[in-house]
A and B are shown apart, each in its own frame.
Chain A
C-alpha cells in the first residue's frame, strides 16, 4: 500500500491493538494481527480487507475517541480498503473511478441506460417499441437475442478478467513470509466464512449499528441481497439453457423455473438493499468514513435498480410499457457489469482473498508472545 494518511493511521492503530488484543473474539482481523509483531504498509491493505466493518471493536475500545489514542479501526480500515481498491484495480487508469465513486456509478448508469434506449429507438421503429408483444420471442422483438447476449457477455467477461487481475495483484502485494501454499483446508474454511458471512457476526452476536447493542440485521440483509443476486443469476442461466439449447423461447409462464427464480431473487434483492440502506441510516456515524459512503450507496442503488426494473419487466411484459422498461433494465444490467471491477462490488473479491490468506496463515502460525 502507498504511504497515505489513512494507511499510516491504520498502522499506528493496529500497533496499539496488538498490545491490547481485547477484541480478538470479534473477527478474523485480530487473530491475523496477533501472528505478527511488526507491520508493513501492505499488511494494512490485507487487514483492512479482512475487516467486515461490524463496528464491534470500535464500541468495545477503551482507547476510542475522546481517548488520546483515538483508535477507530472501522473508520481507518474503510479508508484503507477504498485506497486498496484503487491501487489493485486493472487497468490502472480506471482506478480513478474510486475517487468519486458515487458520481462515477451514477454517470455510468445514466450513460448505459441512455445507450440502450438510444440503440433501441435507433434500431427498432417506435411502433415496435411501444406495442404490446405477446408469445415466444416477445422480448427479442425489441432487442435481439444476439445483441443482448453479445454486449452483456463481452462486458461481463472483461469485468471478470479485471476482477481476477485485481485479486492476483492483491494476493501478490499482501503475501508475506507468513503466507504459505494454499491448502484445501484453507479454501474450505475461507469459503465457509464467505458463504455464511461469519464475521458479520461478531462471534455470532451480529454487528454494532446504532449503538453498542448487537444486531444480525446487517448479516441477514446481506444474505438476502447476495442470495437474491445469485437467484437472479441462476434465473438468467436457466433461461439461457431453455432458450438456446432446448428451444423454449422466452417469455416463460409465471410458474416456470426462470420466472420463479427471478421473482424470488428480485424480491430478495430489494429486501436486502432496503435492509442495508436502513442499517446505513441508523448507524452511529462515529466509526464511519464519509469518503466511502458515495460508493456504498451507489452499489446499493444500482442493485436496487436492477431488481426493481427486472421485476418491472415481468409485471409489465404484456403491456405496451414492456419495451421501455426492458431497455431500462438492460441499461442497468449493462452498468452493473461495466462497474463490477470499479465500484464497491470489488469488496467481495478482496475480502474473499483476505479470508483465504487468513485461513492459510492461521493453520501455519501461532500468535506472537
Chain B
C-alpha cells in the first residue's frame, strides 16, 4: 500500500513523494541546509524530532555566533582576522582539530551574517550587551530561539515541508548511497524517500544509555543543559553503516551548573559563575581543586568534569557576604546561613568537617589586593590544593552555598565530513548523496574544548555547504 507522507502511515509504509532533499534535524544547521537547498530550486522536507514548541535542538539555547571580519560591521566591532581566530581555536582544542576544515570554516564565517540577516535573523547592535564579546561574536536579538523562529518563518515562506514530532530512526544506507529514512511519528513508522539527505540531528548528550556506557552509574547524576531530543539515533545509525567516526565517544563538554536544574533544557540560567570567589567542596566537605586557577572564562569548562569525578557527582561552593554581588545572578537562590555550621546543616554536609575545611582555608589565606579584573595576588599559602587567586577569608556572614552538578552541553563523537560537508565512509570515500552539518559533524573541527559561538558558526557554514551540495546532487 502506498500513502501520501502527510497522512498517518503504517509500519514500513513508503511515502509516495520523493523529495529532492530530506533534512534530518530541526536546529540551526538543519534549517540553513534546508533553506539553501530550497533556494537552489529543490523540494525539501525537514524532519524535526521535537514538537513545534520545543523545536530547534540546542540552537534554541545559543546566543551568538563567532564571525571573522576585517572591519567593523553593524553587529561586530573592530576586526577579527583569520589567523587570530585560528589561534583561538588551536588554543582551546589543544590541536584536536583539522586545520584545513577549520580555516575554511573561519573564512566562510565572514560571509554568513549578511545571509542570516537576509533570512530574518536579527542581531543586537554591536555596542550593547552584558558580555564583552562584541569584537568576536555577533549576538542574536532575543537569542537562539528567536533565530530558530526566524528560520522556520523563512522556511515556511519558501514552501519547505516541515514535520514536527518526527523522529528519524535510521538513514538507510546501501554501500554509501542513502535510499530513505525511517521516521517515527504518532506511533507509526514511515519511510521517506529523497534524492539526497542532510544529517543535522545533533549529538547524543541526551542519551543516558550512551553516557552510562562511558561513565557508568555516575552518568545518572549528569544534567543535560540543552534539548532532550539529542538522542544520537541518527549518529548511531550512520556509524553502524560504515560511516567514519570522529571524536572520542567518552568525551563531552560540561560545566558545573546548579544541581537543582531540570534534567534537560535548563539552559543558560542554571550556570553558576561563583566558583572563582568561593571554595568548592565535595560531599565530604573537602576541597579538590584550585578555584582561582585562572579567569573564569578560561576555567568554567573544566568544572563539569571536576565535579563529575567527585563522589556522587556533586559539589558545593561556599562563599560569604563579601562575594555575593561579584558574579551574575542565577535561577535558584543560594542557601544561606549565619554560621558555617548552619550552612553545613542546610546543605547536608558534616558541620565539623566543613568548619575544619573553612578554618584551614582561612588560616592559609595571605593578604593581598583583591581585584576581580585581573589575576590578583590573593592566594593561599601551604594549602593543598591551593587557591591561587581571589582567595579571601570566608568570615563575613551571612554565608552562602550553591550545589553544583555536571551539566553537559554537547558531545564530541560525530561523523567525519569533508570541506563540502559530504559524509566520509570508512574506506575514505565520500558518501554519494549524504551530507552532514551541525553538532553531528562538529567533532571534525572541534575535537576538544569550546570557543564561544563557534558551534553556531560550524552549523551555519556547514548547513549552507550541505544545502548547496545536496541541491547540486539532487539536480544531477
Which residues of A line the B interface, CB within 8 A?
15-16, 18-26, 34, 37, 56-57, 59-69, 202-203, 205, 211-214, 367-369
Contact of B153 among A22, A67, A213 (CB under 8 A): A213
Q: Give 15 A-B pairs besides A60-B142, A65-B53 with Cβ atoms closer than 8 angstroms.
A: A15-B329, A16-B331, A20-B269, A21-B130, A24-B128, A25-B141, A26-B141, A26-B142, A56-B142, A59-B149, A60-B145, A61-B145, A205-B122, A214-B122, A368-B325
On chain A, the residues within 8 Å of B152 by CB distance are 212
Report whether A66 and B54 are in contact in the complex, using a CB–CB cutoff of 8 Å: yes
> Secondary structure at chain B's binding surface: helix, strand, loop or mixed?
loop
Known: A203-B141, A205-B122, A212-B149. A63 touches B326 (CB 8 A): no
- Of B260-268, B349-357, B378-386, B450-458, the one touching chain A: B260-268
Q: Distance (Å) between the CB of B390 and the closest chain A CB?
A: 15
Which residues of B line the A interface, CB within 8 A?
53-54, 60-61, 63, 120, 122, 124-125, 128-130, 139-146, 149-150, 152-153, 262, 265, 267-269, 273, 325-331
On chain B, the residues within 8 Å of A25 by CB distance are 124-125, 128-129, 139, 141-142
Q: 6 pairs across A/B with beta carbons < 8 Å?
A: A25-B124, A56-B142, A61-B145, A62-B143, A203-B124, A212-B146
What's the Cα separation between A19 and B60 when bound, in Å?
16
Report whether A203 and B153 are in contact in the complex, using a CB–CB cutoff of 8 Å: no
Report whether A66 and B269 are in contact in the complex, using a CB–CB cutoff of 8 Å: no
Report whether B331 and A24 are in contact in the complex, using a CB–CB cutoff of 8 Å: no
Report whether B329 and A60 are in contact in the complex, using a CB–CB cutoff of 8 Å: no
Report whether B269 and A203 are in contact in the complex, using a CB–CB cutoff of 8 Å: no
Q: Distance (Å) between the CB of A336 and the closest chain B CB?
A: 37
Report whether A16 and B269 are in contact in the complex, using a CB–CB cutoff of 8 Å: yes
On chain B, the residues within 8 Å of A18 by CB distance are 329
Q: Distance (Å) between the CB of B415 and the closest chain A CB?
A: 27
Known: A25-B124, A25-B139. A59 touches B330 (CB 8 A): no
On chain B, the residues within 8 Å of A369 by CB distance are 273, 325-329
On chain B, the residues within 8 Å of A211 by CB distance are 149, 153
What's the Cα separation between A62 and B273 when bound, in Å?
20
Report whether A63 and B325 are in contact in the complex, using a CB–CB cutoff of 8 Å: no
On chain A, the residues within 8 Å of B145 by CB distance are 59-62
Q: Most chain-A Cβ atoms within 10 A of its Cβ — which of B129, B144, B326, B331?
A: B331
On chain B, the residues within 8 Å of A16 by CB distance are 269, 331
On chain A, the residues within 8 Å of B130 by CB distance are 21, 24, 34, 367
Report whether A20 and B268 are in contact in the complex, using a CB–CB cutoff of 8 Å: yes
Known: A212-B153, A369-B325. A23 touches B53 (CB 8 A): no
What's the Cα separation between A25 and B267 when bound, in Å?
19
On chain B, the residues within 8 Å of A202 by CB distance are 141
Q: Distance (Å) between the CB of A55 and the closest chain B CB?
A: 11
Known: A16-B331, A203-B125. A23 touches B267 (CB 8 A): no
Q: Distance (Å) between the CB of B418 and the closest chain A CB?
A: 33
Residue of B nearest to A65 (CB): B53
Contact of A19 among B124, B143, B146, B331 (CB under 8 A): B331
What's the Cα separation between A61 and B144 when bound, in Å?
9
Q: Distance (Å) between the CB of A200 and the closest chain B CB?
A: 15
Q: Distance (Å) between the CB of A206 and the closest chain B CB?
A: 11
On chain B, the residues within 8 Å of A205 by CB distance are 122, 141
Known: A67-B265, A213-B153, A368-B329. A23 touches B54 (CB 8 A): no
What's the Cα separation between A61 and B142 when bound, in Å?
8
Q: Distance (Å) between the CB of A76 and the closest chain B CB?
A: 16
On chain A, the residues within 8 Å of B124 by CB distance are 24-25, 203
Residue of B nearest to A36 (CB): B329
What's the Cα separation between A22 and B327 when bound, in Å?
17
Report whether B146 and A60 are in contact in the complex, using a CB–CB cutoff of 8 Å: yes
What's the Cα separation between A56 and B328 when bound, in Å?
23
